[in-house]
């Protein structure tokens, strides 16, 4: 039987690239999305074309009950989740912290930090051997914004991503003896739809050349690192952060 992977925000960008690569690496794939069912269906078609089983699951990752249903549906339809990618995320419009509405700060922290805690909790409750699980691997998608502190308009986002880094390093140690590995990826400037949500025009074209490697990255390049961290080749890697940032 193929192993089952569940990817939050699997409908677009980095999550979609993870789903597509996972199908080519032999996983059956559960694709979570929030609102864009058409994009999720397109990813599912590609997964099936690669010979794997695919399932799309609508769930807002900041809703704990919906997250429980998401894991249970994936397990019921495809089998126990062995690999989990906590990827879904949003970004605030670039602005000084002093000018960002409190509701917007709460929204960013809710989706970019609290939801990852909720999702990791749900994953570990199912994977941990001491709880009857079969073990597994988790990759959390953080950002270089955490090490750059979100300076330049993204402090709520950067602060939430810093929280994800602590979650990854802490949980990785907490469950290391329980058959579960937890690692994080910190992408740099990656060419996806999220760039449009920053309110900064042509962000990739304007800033790609400032990255030490000379260009922005692709979602597929991030997915390669995610799939490696989930694989048995990374069996001795846990509680660590891996930068995919072109040297940024
Ligand atoms: P994207 O292209 O905008 O895709 C975002 C994905 O997250 C979509 O699949 C979206 O679903 C889903 N999503 C958003 N809010 C959700 C919610 N509440 N519940 C469930 N799903 C939700 O973004 P991306 O660039 O691929 O980003 C993916 C991750 O990488 C994020 O955590 C982001 O912070 C991180 N990252 C990105 C970059 C970059 O430069 N692109 C850099 C560093 C880190 P729908 O399609 O249904 O809307």
Q: Please state, rounded to an integer, the average pLDDT across all residues of the chain.
A: 98
Q: Each residue of 200-243: pLDDT tens digit?
A: 999 999 999 999 999 999 999 999 999 999 999 999 999 999 99
**Mean pLDDT, rounded, for 1-10:** 97
In three-state secondary structure terms, 49 is helix
Please give the angle made by the CA atoms of 72, 76 and 77, to the nearest 5 degrees. Answer: 120
**What is the atom index within ligand 1 of the atom nearest the CA of 60?**
19
Task: Report CA-CA distances (Å) from 154 to 9, 93, 133, 144, 198.
Answer: 20, 8, 38, 11, 9
Helices (H), 86-218: 102-109, 115-127, 155-174, 203-207
Residue 121: the pLDDT is: 98
Per-residue model confidence as pLDDT tens digits over 32-50: 999 999 999 999 999 999 9
Please indicate, yes or no, if residue 213 is contained in any of the structural domains. Answer: no
Spatial distance between the Cα atoms of 230 and 20, rounded to a whole number of angstroms: 15
Q: Residue 11 Cα, ligand 1 centroid: separation in angstroms?
A: 9
Out of 9, 35, 142, mutate this one to test ligand 1's pocket (max ligand atoms within 8 Å of CB): namely 9
The closest-lying atom of ligand 1 relative to the alpha carbon of residue 62 is 18
Does the residue 128 lie in any domain?
yes
Taking residues 5-32, what's their average pLDDT?
A: 99
27 in catalytic set = no
Is residue 44 one of the residues assigned to a domain?
yes
Residue-range definition of the domain harbouring residue 149? 4-189+218-243
Q: Could you tell me the pLDDT band of residue 151, with boundaries at 50, 70 and 90?
A: confident
The answer as to whether 95 is a domain residue is yes
Express each pLDDT in 53-109 by its tens digit: 999 999 999 999 999 999 999 999 999 999 999 999 999 999 999 999 999 999 999
Q: Model pTM greater than 0.95?
A: yes
Give the pLDDT confidence score for residue 150 in this predicted structure.
87
Distance CA 11, CA 37 (A): 8
Q: Which two tokens stand for residue 76?
A: 């019921």
From ligand 1's centre to the CA of 92, what distance in Å? 12
Return the CATH number at 132: 3.40.50.720
Region 129-158: what's the mean pLDDT?
Answer: 96
pLDDT score for 63: 98
Pick the atom of ligand 1 nearest to 189's CA: 40
The answer to whether residue 196 sits within a structural domain is no
In a domain, 70, yes or no: yes
- Kindly state whether residue 91 falls inside one of the protein's structural domains: yes
In a domain, 204, yes or no: no
Kindly name the residue from 157, 162, 180, 187 that is annotated as catalytic. 157
Q: How many domains does the structure of the chain reveal?
A: 1
């Amino acid at each position: 039987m193929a192993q089952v992977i569940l990817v939050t925000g699997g409908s677009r960008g980095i999550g979609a690239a993870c789903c597509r690569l996972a199908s080519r690496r032999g996983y059956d794939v559960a694709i979570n999305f929030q609102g864009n069912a058409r994009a999720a269906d397109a990813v599912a078609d590609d997964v099936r074309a690669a010979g794997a089983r695919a399932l799309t699951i609508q769930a807002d990752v900041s809703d704990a009950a919906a997250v429980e249903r998401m894991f249970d549906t994936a397990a019921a339809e495809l089998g126990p989740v062995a690999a989990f990618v906590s990827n879904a995320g949003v970004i605030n419009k670039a602005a000084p912290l002093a000018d960002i509405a409190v509701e917007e700060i709460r929204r960013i922290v809710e989706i970019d930090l609290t939801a990852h805690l909720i999702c990791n909790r749900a994953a570990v409750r199912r994977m941990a051997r001491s709880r009857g699980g079969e073990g597994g691997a988790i990759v959390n998608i953080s950002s270089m914004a955490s090490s750059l502190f979100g300076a330049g308009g993204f402090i709520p986002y950067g602060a939430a991503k810093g929280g994800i880094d602590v979650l990854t390093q802490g949980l990785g140690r907490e469950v290391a003896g329980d058959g579960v590995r937890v690692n994080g990826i910190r992408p740099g400037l990656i060419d996806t739809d999220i760039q449009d949500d920053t309110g900064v025009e042509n962000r990739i074209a304007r800033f790609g050349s400032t990255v030490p490697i000379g260009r922005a990255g692709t979602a597929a390049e991030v997915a390669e690192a995610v799939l490696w961290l989930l694989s048995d080749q990374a069996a001795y890697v846990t509680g660590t952060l891996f930068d995919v940032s072109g040297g940024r």
